[in-house]
Structure 1
Amino acid sequence: MTNIDRRTFTSSAITLLAAAGLGSGSAMAQSSLTKPQPTRIAIPERELADLKERLRSARWPVEVDPGQWTRGVPQDYMRRVVDYWANSFDWRAIEDQLNEYEQVNFEHEGQVLHAFHVRSARPDAIPLVLIHGWPSSAVEYLKVIEPLTNPAVGRAFHLVIPSQPGFGLSPASSQVGWTSVKTAQAIAGLMADLGYERYAIHGSDMGADVAGQLDQISAGKVIGVHVATDTDTIVAVASFMGQDLSSNTVLNDDQKVRVGAKFAALPDDMGYIGIQSTRPKTLGYALHDSPIGQLAWIVEKFDAWTNPSKALPEDAVDLDQLLTNVTLYWFGGGGAASANAVYESMKAMSWAPPTDTPQGASAFNADDLARPLFDPEASLLFWREHAEGGHFPAMEEPELLASDIRDFFTSLAG
């Protein structure tokens, strides 16, 4: 259980509760912001005390099949992580580190959002938006800040790292129909207010959808779009989109058999999206009222989606960084709010139409199925595969992801 490296976890922030109106996860519906406003994280002591009391007075269920992950997170593992969260995890130290970064609150259609804004000292730095997915927030990208803003070699970047509404750092939306399109519109407005006329975009998971929408909205302003993914996600999306394997001329017969087997096994792993995309309110009560429930809901995905060669989530990612994300979900009501965001996203299914913007992708935990499913015509300008990592490369393999981002956008910017 490691401490977060100050070099990669440093710069300014949100008054999550005072300025953004986030106390115990209460939603911020309306705002008087006209321009991005500087802000800082300041969690009241009573909120910290309440969290620790809830963790220490937990009601633990009777466990069937102890020690196994097949039914979900094992109780012995949960007890160990909860003990660390309650008694060893130092939120105030994390808060101080986060508050070293410049951060702003900004507004779109009455909804407040939060973003890190970390400028490079390099005069030729490229503005770059980094957009997270579920179950993440802007803290997913903390370990790529230093290698992107201050690389030992290669091009540097000015970073804008927003959190989508309801994902911990940005207040929950009470609006019906807040989709990736609106999030993209909000980010486009922020980039204009910050004075960036041309910029690059990177996204992963749900953030890749927002990236596509932002590219569409910001026609002529986007240098390029880069996404990060992993083989399991590629297979899941191919299945969800009803990809006809028989018409895929790049896959050989053996590959089609293996993909078909993966398709058949997917239902066992899709319970999280089934409930969030249909009954987010019902799940939301549990996630909003129990920090242990919130932890289990997120940590199970970090076990399932990180590099399969890693035995436990903290073997794949920094546990303090993972708990920072979970803690911000708890204080910001991110469990219920992000479940609703998944619901809105699934109902909208508003895929952005293609543009002429250069596209690139990096695949982690990649095998021979990744590109034939993701880019069968090899039409992407940039494609790079890594055996390492998984669904959260910014946390699992930050140097590899940062290198790919630098290589792709440097080739476009000259």
Structure 2
Amino acid sequence: MSNDIQPFRIAATDAQLDDLKLRLRHTRWPERECVDDWSQGMPLAYAQEVVAYWLERYDWRAREAGLNRFAQFKTTIDELGIHFIHVRSPHADALPLVITHGWPGSIVEFHKVIEPLTNPTAHGGDAADAFHVVCPSLPGFGFSDKPTRNGWSVQRIARAWAELMPRLGYKRYAAQGGDWGSMVTTAIGIQDPGNCVGIHLNMPIALPDPATMNDLTENEKSAIAGMQHYNDWDSGYSKQQSTRPQTVGYGLTDSPAGQLTWILEKFWSWTDCDGHPENVLTRDELLDNAMLYWLPATAASSARLYWESFRVPMTDPVTVPVGCSIFPKEIFRTSRRWAEKRFANLVFFKELTKGGHFAAFEQPETFIQEVRDCFRLMR
């Protein structure tokens, strides 16, 4: 098996871009929703507005060049090609850090944090906080290969990352993640404590402790209400992707408007955006992320991670040092005492006042500070 690491650049073909425009031009629209808000899903008028922008004004070549400013590579692990950004710090004592995205995110989420993390002195920081940053695309996402066999659960992805880091020369490393990346990062902490010095999570899965139910704080009550809202009104996508990922993939792979709205509704729901995703992210950023699903046609393969991982619950003890940053508009929030129940070695815990599910994308400066503060305790 080859351990070769090959340089990679994002390079859509003209044929792909022409096909995208053709499909956008011929979108068949549903009728307008029957409400004046997002409660039935993404409003028709906004969907048409963004699709028109995508077709007429969005400059993929410029956006592609911006993403290609980061050194990217592919390597084969367990017979699967894994795409990743790898930026070495100019500071020799930098801590290697693998950062993992989730669904419906991508490496695009990290484009505002990679440079300050790797080169803090060029961005008002201290050399002692420097990281060598590795951002892989999950299997079946972005420009990583699509698994053709079952088995690529978060645990297996964690094993792949634990192979990737020493392949890059990093025997000792740290890990960070949100969404599915949080689960992969937790699995790294479980499986590779000999090499992983600690983990930081911006969506830690630490369930309410039954022993606290008669003594809940206001934040804990809010967290439980948020979980209930998600279950009742916000989790239909998850049920579909965890049970029938192939079926949902057909429409999303065929229709760019369908793929875009499937994703963009979650950016409305899960960001701290005061009712509109473009209050916190630019339209170009939102489309960049959608392009990393559209170009490689990963609707079904990305959805399949739900099918794989919901079947294998992860309850093993986490013994490495753990840090948690809790953003107020996160889907699942936990409290310090619930987190202490899940993570025996909780060394960092902070509740923030602004931000949501896509922390590095929405609140890059806060995210950078949280990562620096957390790993100062683990270096």
TM-score normalised by structure 1 residue count? 0.83
**Which of 251, 263, 284 is the aligned partner of 1:286?**
251
SS at match of 2:253: helix
Residues 372 and 128 of structure 1, relative CA distance in 2, 3 Å threshold:
closer
Equivalences, count: 369
Amino acid at match of 2:76: E
Residues 262 and 198 of structure 1, relative CA distance in 2, 3 Å threshold:
closer
1:267 maps onto 2:232 in alignment: yes
C-alpha offsets along residues 78-118 of structure 1, whole Å, 9 cap, x if unaligned? 01111111111111111112222111111122111100001
Amino acid at match of 2:254: D
TM-fit CA distance, 1:319: 2.4
| Structure 2: tracts of 5 or more residues without a match | none
Amino acid at match of 2:247: T
Aligned match of 2:164: 190
The 5 A counterparts of 1:211-230 are 211-229=185-203
1:342 maps onto 2:306 in alignment: yes
Contact 2:260 2:290 in 1 (8 A): yes
TM-fit CA distance, 1:356: 2.6
Aligned match of 2:324: 361
Percent identical residues: 41
Aligned match of 1:120: 89
Aligned match of 1:383: 349
Contact 2:33 2:43 in 1 (8 A): no
Residues 161 and 256 of structure 1, relative CA distance in 2, 3 Å threshold:
closer
Contact 1:36 1:190 in 2 (8 A): no
The 5 A counterparts of 1:7-406 are 33-65=2-34, 67-151=36-120, 152-154=124-126, 155-229=129-203, 238=207, 243=208, 245=210, 247-248=212-213, 250-252=215-217, 261-265=225-229, 266-308=231-273, 310-349=274-313, 351=314, 353-365=316-328, 370-371=334-335, 374-375=338-339, 380-406=346-372
TM-fit CA distance, 1:370: 3.9
Contact 2:67 2:111 in 1 (8 A): no
TM-fit CA distance, 1:372: 5.2
Amino acid at match of 2:301: A
Cα distance in 1 for residues equivalent to 2:209 and 2:378: 34
TM-fit CA distance, 1:201: 0.5
Contact 1:171 1:332 in 2 (8 A): no
SS at match of 1:375: helix
Contact 1:132 1:140 in 2 (8 A): yes
Amino acid at match of 1:322: L
TM-fit CA distance, 1:336: 1.2
> Where does structure 1 differ by over 4 angstroms across 4 or more consecutive aligned residues?
243-247, 254-264, 376-379
Contact 1:317 1:395 in 2 (8 A): yes
SS at match of 2:76: strand
Amino acid at match of 1:345: S
Cα distance in 2 for residues equivalent to 1:225 and 1:207: 11
TM-fit CA distance, 1:348: 2.1
Contact 1:226 1:360 in 2 (8 A): yes
| Structure 1: tracts of 5 or more residues without a match | 1-31
Cα distance in 2 for residues equivalent to 1:260 and 1:139: 30
